[in-house]
Amino acid sequence: MNRVPAGLTPLSEWLAEVADDVALVTSPQAADGYRDAFPTLIEVDDYPNSDGVDEALDRLCRSNDVTRIVHVTEEDILRAARARDRHGVPGQSLDQALPFRDKLVMKQRVAAAGLRTPGFRAPRDLDDARSFAAEHGWPVVIKPRLGFASSGVKVVRTADRLTEEIARRELSDVLLEEYIPGPVYHIDGEAEAGVARYICPSRYINNCLSFHDSVPLGSVQLDADDPMTARLNTFTRDALSALPACERSPFHLEVMLREDDGQLYFCEIASRLGGAHVPQALTYRTGVNPAQATIRFQAGLPLPGTESIQLADELYGWVLVPPRSGTLLAIDNPDLPDWVREFHIRAETPQEFTGASASIDAILSFVAQGETSEILERRLTEFTHVAQRFTKWM
């Protein structure tokens, strides 16, 4: 199950030895890149939201000897888990997957284990939502319990706005959280049986809600000797131990540092790779492509690289430049400094935009390298300002 374009997940190469036995369920947008790779290709319109994905899985499992169900992106985690349970296929079950997807269940598990979390509540009704805001103060964060890529996440600052947000959402998918001011970190790695095999902490530049204001989002990996690295590594191990011990899987954890007391607060965790250019930054840092590794592991195939993964001394970071409202006329191909490892134009021109709808929406992006976090962040910031001059808007 994969809607990621073949340029990022070349499945015909990564699954070459079993290609004749693969059925791919994908989106029409990604299908052309996989057209001749596998004997069975099923396209599903509106892939992230359609019941057609589940129906395709059931048809395939009923009519074939399915030995593995492989998922890649977050919207497929629960689909794959339910299908495994229905058809007796090995891999992550629904009981194991749900605490990594349902943010209410997730926070209940983590809080019960003694980790700090923001105050949270799944409100019964509008009065319950107002009571939460009165208890924790304004602003409050409202988000979908099963959302991803920060889509649908809002910081609500008034009672009127809270009323509007509650009215337009499905109440069973609403979670309210206490707002924690301060920087946000993401920690990425791989875990097996609840134990981290490697941990790579990074700090966001701006934050995952910056796209609402068309502000670039980026991140920078932390120095190995940064005191925050040790704190985040310990926090990550504690968070993993509070959640179901799954078979080998990547993880993407977000942690907030409260600015007034310096305490770490659990935000969210997922049993999949981080979005944006997190996989590319990890590939450079570890020498192993984490997307290739997780796809091959789920397929029951030998993994790339060595059993032990080490983090290189060089650090990596990335930036996504989101669209703004208007008509994007052109994006230039610039001359790049040697520390920019990748530069991607992610929009066709000319094209109309009304802004970004998720944290991973971007018209251009890049990955950079630096000897220290300070050098890397300076390079990312400087090149972001330069890169925005490559675009022509009307």
Question: Which pairs count as long-range contacts for 199-205, CB under 8 Å and 24+ apart, including other chains?
Answer: 199/232, 199/233, 199/236, 199/237, 200/282, 200/285, 200/286, 200/311, 201/228, 201/229, 201/232, 201/233, 201/236, 202/278, 202/281, 202/317, 203/228, 203/373, 205/317, 205/319, 205/377, 205/380, 205/381
Both tokens assigned to 337: 């400094």
Q: Which stretches in the chain have pLDDT values below 50?
A: none
Both tokens assigned to 207: 């934050």
pLDDT recorded at residue 169: 95
pLDDT recorded at residue 335: 84
pLDDT recorded at residue 334: 81
Q: Give residue for tokens 């890169």.
A: 387
pLDDT recorded at residue 149: 72
Q: Give residue for tokens 């794959």.
A: 80
pLDDT recorded at residue 352: 94
Q: Give residue for tokens 């107002």.
A: 130
pLDDT recorded at residue 209: 65
Whole-angstrom distance, CA of residue 300 vs CA of residue 91:
10
DSSP states along 23-85 = EEEE-HHHHGGGTTTSSEEEE-TTTTT-THHHHHHHHHHHHS--------SGGGHHHHHHHHH
pLDDT recorded at residue 88: 97
Q: Is the pTM of this model over 0.85?
A: yes
Report the CATH number of the 184-393 domain. 3.30.470.20
Domain 119-178: give its CATH superfamily: ATP-grasp fold, A domain (3.30.1490.20)
Q: What are the domain boundaries of the chain?
A: 11-91, 119-178, 184-393
Q: How far apart are the first and last CA of the chain?
A: 39
